[in-house]
Amino acid sequence: MKKHIVVLTGAGISAESGIKTFRDADGLWEGHDVMEVATPEGFKKNPALVLDFYNQRRQQLNEVKPNQAHFDLAALEKKYHITIITQNVDDLHERAGSNNIIHLHGELRKMRSSEDENDIKICNEDIKLGDTCAKGYQLRPHIVWFGEAVPMIDKAMEICKQADILVIIGTSMQVYPAAGLMDYVHPNIPIYYIDPKPAHVNNKKVIIIEKSATEGTKTLLEILTENE
């Protein structure tokens, strides 16, 4: 049986590919207040602005590529059973070759009905005002906005309970419910936390690797090889 490594990834792993985060910029995301573009209220107030914002983010995906950290995680599947639980809405893990990915906060390359969260379709083009689902409701990005439920969190919790090793990469561990996932792993398993500016973690068993995602993942591979 292959060991099961569960990897929690956040904005820090995508930042090295050129995707900007908003938590490093006083709540601004690409120049916008996140409350304007990442809440149901913002969408209700100005749907055209929100659609345009995510159309631009989707177009940006065509200009960036997975970095070495993404590729290293994909390569781990040769030796381990890997599940990636990501807070990121990009598709860089998929493009690097990873196969088991749970997107907690949705996916830029998908859209859904604004009235039926289960009516989800692939989206590689712009979503325009007036584009509707089969029932006539406006289409919106398949993104979990602030104030909305996180549909995949229960599945993520169950996955964490099955982990033999937990790896955390590029996340502040401040956004809930994702930040609470560490509490669901078995108390005796090793936990590695990779981040150049790691947050304070109330768990003495966490092994902190104070490096960027690409450098830290390289270090992680060396540790795993030594422990084989």
160 and 227 belong to one structural domain: yes
177 and 215 belong to one structural domain: yes
Q: Quick one: angle between helices 68-75 and 213-226, nearest 10?
A: 30
112 and 52 belong to one structural domain: yes
Average the pLDDT over 171-187 and give the result. 79
Asked if pLDDT for residue 182 goes beyond 60, the answer is yes
Asked if pLDDT for residue 177 goes beyond 80, the answer is no
Query: What is the distance between the alpha carbons of residues 111 and 131, in angstroms, rounded to a whole number?
Result: 11
pLDDT tens-digit readout, 110-166: 999 999 999 999 999 999 999 999 999 999 999 999 999 999 999 999 999 999 999
Domain total in the chain: 2
Average the pLDDT over 197-223 and give the result. 89
Query: pTM score, two decimals?
Result: 0.92
pLDDT tens-digit readout, 49-94: 999 999 999 999 999 999 999 999 999 999 999 999 999 999 999 9
Tell me the CATH number at 79.
3.40.50.1220
Q: Is 24 left (phi over 0), alpha (psi -120 to 50) or beta?
A: alpha
> What integer pLDDT is reported at residue 137 of this predicted model?
96
172 and 225 belong to one structural domain: yes
Residues with a catalytic annotation lie at: 105
177 and 211 belong to one structural domain: yes
